[in-house]
Amino acid sequence: MDFDDVVLRRHSSRMFLPDKPVPQELLQEALILAMRAPSNSNVQPWRVFLASGARRVRLGAALAKQVRTTPPPNLGLPDSHSHLRRELGALLYGAMGVARDDSEGRWTAQLRNWDFFHAPVAGIVCMHRDLGLPDAIGVGMFLQTLLLALTERGLDSCVQVSTALYPDVVREQLDIPDELTVLCGICIGYADPAFPANSINTPRNPVTANVVFLED
């Protein structure tokens, strides 16, 4: 696949085929490439815990139990940006056929976050607690490289902040040491082609909305 096609093809999938496993060699290849990501002082700050098989099942079950007893904190965006979440929600729920006032339908869809959208490989991405913002940029570089390498291999993915909302549960389930900060989750697998929200194309700003060119 041409590089531009890989970038354009990568998108977040929110329903995976649970019984279609991720070939280990493809995952390894993508991870080896992602390790080439740049980072501050070559710290390579990303620490990734990937669960499949029985561990994956236990992780999903523990999160599902937790989310039902302790609803997730509202990770609202600041007022200046909250309209963007509403716009994405309208796009996603619209594609899923969930009406704006259907709070039960929305909650059912949200709950899939905590089962990693049924992905056969469920991951948690961490960074050492002593590291800071420049190192978090490095983790982001690793993640995007990983997502692109997975896309090139025909695999689908979704990065998630939602699963990181229960750091104690994921720590316990994946034996994550205390010195690591839990940053986000990642789902890896093959997207369910029958799920309409998997084929939405999220819009982007024009470059000029985000980039300033200065010449004098």
Ligand X SMILES: Cc1cc2nc3c(=O)[nH]c(=O)nc-3n(C[C@H](O)[C@H](O)[C@H](O)COP(=O)(O)O)c2cc1C
**Binding site residues, ligand X, CB under 6 A:** 11-12, 14, 88, 113, 158-162, 184, 202
Rank residues 24 and 100 by Cβ distance to ligand X and give the closer one. Answer: 100
Cα 175 to Cα 178: distance, rounded to the nearest angstrom: 9
| Smallest separation (angstroms) from ligand X to the CB of 10 | 7
Cα 166 to Cα 66: distance, rounded to the nearest angstrom: 8
Residue with the two structure tokens 């229960």 = 166
Task: Record the tokens describing residue 44, joined without a space.
Answer: 């390579």
Rank residues 24 and 202 by Cβ distance to ligand X and give the closer one. Answer: 202
Nearest to 76 by CA among 93, 89, 91: 89
| Smallest separation (angstroms) from ligand X to the CB of 214 | 28
| Smallest separation (angstroms) from ligand X to the CB of 14 | 5
Contacts of 38 (CB under 8 A, 6+ apart): 138, 141
| Smallest separation (angstroms) from ligand X to the CB of 11 | 3
Instruction: Find residue 48's DSSP bridge partners.
Output: 125
Rank residues 21 and 89 by Cβ distance to ligand X and give the closer one. Answer: 89
Rank residues 11 and 58 by Cβ distance to ligand X and give the closer one. Answer: 11
